[in-house]
Amino acid sequence: MAKALRELFISGESSMTRAFTLSLFIAVLGISYLKLAKVLDPHFYILPTFMVISLIGGILFGLGMVLADSCALSILWKLGEGQIKLLIVGISFILVNSVTDKYINKVQELLEENFVKNIFLPEYLTYKGAVFLIIGVIFVCLIFTEWSKKSKRFVIKI
């Protein structure tokens, strides 16, 4: 998955991004079928998450992953191959993770008390509406991927 997110912005290559998008599309269709056919309980695997914290964490992790040219696991693997720069990345990852873990729960509790309401899309859009919305977002990502591949506008020069 790291390559699917990284290569579009590093080299402009989009084959892994398209493969990831297709697999996400298939997973959404499969899981929604299981829930609509009542094979699975509709509330099965719905975890209470906090969207803003997840969004910020995902953006920071994704940015770090792109800039380091590695995700958490491949840092160890590439370090074993002799890429010493990843020693600095690994140490930074450990330090930032420790500091963030100490303070993020306090921020999350503060935001949950004052601003957050859990949103379960099928309560607002029905299951079919939620599935169509998610598929629409997937197709927008696919269109962005193809446009970015052709225009090379988001390729980072390193």
pLDDT tens track for 41-54 = 766 666 666 666 77
Neighbours of 6 (CB within 10 A): 22
Quick check: 116 pLDDT over 70?
no
Q: Which residue has the higher pLDDT, 3 or 96?
A: 96
Average pLDDT over residues 110-136: 80
Alpha-carbon distance of 84 to 76, in angstroms, equals 11
Alpha-carbon distance of 105 to 113, in angstroms, equals 12
Does the pTM surpass 0.85? The reply is: no
Identify the CA nearest to 137 among candidates 16, 28, 36, 59. 28
pLDDT of residue 23: 92
